[in-house]
Amino acid sequence: MTKQPLPASNPAALLEAVLQTNETTRNPRLKEVMAAAIRHLHAFAIEVDLTPDELQVGLDFLVAIGKATGPKKHEGILLADILGLATLVQLRNARDAVAAGGTEPALVGPFWRENQPLRENGAHIASDATPGPRFEVRGRVLSLDGKPLAGARIETWQASPEGLYENQDEAQEHMNLRGRLETDAQGRFWFTSVRPAGYPVPTDGPCGELLAAQGRKVMRPAHLHFIVAAEGYKVLATQIFDIEDPNAFEDVVFGAVGSLLRKFEPDGDGGYVLDIELRLEPGETRLPHCPLP
Ligand code: BEZ
Ligand code: FE
């Protein structure tokens, strides 16, 4: 075939030419994903009539996202979160499991840490110096048909009553309010903590600038994170939210969905109790990417 120059001012021919170069991609999934990305990016540029200056602003923004990412914060994850992309991907991936009675998922977020300390059931995951009302968390891990899953790994982490994760707060002990537990023979796990507070997502980077430019609120409602891994079952990443939090229905990252909003019940003695069931669907057990060392 003789090669011909691209016709000028012909976006359709340009798109075709770019898609053609993708045809030699060996990995079939990468080929499919790149073809869709190319099509959508071209359509986006046409829809908004993107100028060269605006394209440069967008590219500089991506560079700034990379520069703001480091051992303490993953700004790229934050971007996917504030655009609702992380929640969309989570919900779509779990749609069959949720339709069959599985627990709704929620995004992992940027604050899960590798090597969270192994805790016995019943342990207090807050240091003595952590202020705030006592919070008893009792969970059960079950299959979709209600079989208790023994020996499941639970990863949990939460912000302090001041709304800060331990790694954002000099005043907290290393790995405070974090833990890794294992379910007992009845699939149960339990621990004591302090009631978490809502908090703003980090706004000291390009995502903060974007949120400000959009005039958006930056708060997440109070929540606890869980990752549950049981052999032979898909890993569940989820969060349980305080339905009484003023931002319960305005989560800046759109994670507070449906059944994940729960009342933290008073225990009659100044503390609170949360009872949860976490139901997993059968499948490959693969932990999500851990954003922080
Ligand atoms: C979190 O829940 O830890 C989180 C999620 C998204 C952005 C910031 C924090
Ligand atoms: Fe969180």
Amino acid (one-letter) located at 63: V
Which residue lies with its CA nearest to atom 2 of ligand 1?
109
What does the radius of gyration of the chain's CA atoms come to, in whole angstroms?
A: 22
153 bridge partner residues = 182, 229
Q: Can you tell me the distance from the alpha carbon of 125 to that of 132, in angstroms, rounded to the nearest whole number?
A: 13
Using alpha carbons, select from 136, 233, 248 the residue that is nearest to residue 189.
136
The helix (H) or strand (E) run that includes residue 142 is: strand 134-143
Architecture of domain 76-278: Sandwich (2.60)
Least confident of 51-65, 66-80, 174-188, 258-272: 66-80
| For the CA of 81, the nearest ligand | 1
Instruction: From 201, 204, 226, 254, give the residue whose CB has the most ligand 1 atoms within 8 Å, as the site to mutate.
Output: 201
pLDDT exceeds 90 at position 245: yes
pLDDT exceeds 70 at position 2: no
pTM of the predicted model as reported, rounded to 2 decimal places: 0.91
pLDDT exceeds 90 at position 293: no
Residue 71 banded pLDDT, cuts 50, 70, 90: confident
| Average pLDDT of the residues in 212-228 | 98
Whole-number pLDDT of residue 139: 98
* DSSP line for 229-289: E-TTB--EEEEEEETTSTTTT--TTS---GGGEE--EE-SSS-EEEEEEEEE-BS---PPP
Using alpha carbons, select from 75, 42, 44, 108 the residue that is nearest to residue 211.
75
Instruction: From 65, 69, 78, give the residue whose CB has the most ligand 1 atoms within 8 Å, as the site to mutate.
Output: 78
Domain-wise residue ranges, the chain: 76-278
Give the model confidence (pLDDT) of 156-167 as tens digits.
999 999 999 999
Whole-number pLDDT of residue 8: 67
Q: Are 221 and 251 in contact (CB under 8 A)?
A: yes
Which residue ranges have their beta carbon within 6 Å of ligand 1? 78, 81, 107, 109-111, 201, 220, 253
Contacts of 230 (CB under 8 A, 6+ apart): 141, 149, 151, 152, 153, 183, 280, 285
Give the model confidence (pLDDT) of 36-58 as tens digits.
999 999 999 999 999 999 999 99
Whole-number pLDDT of residue 168: 87
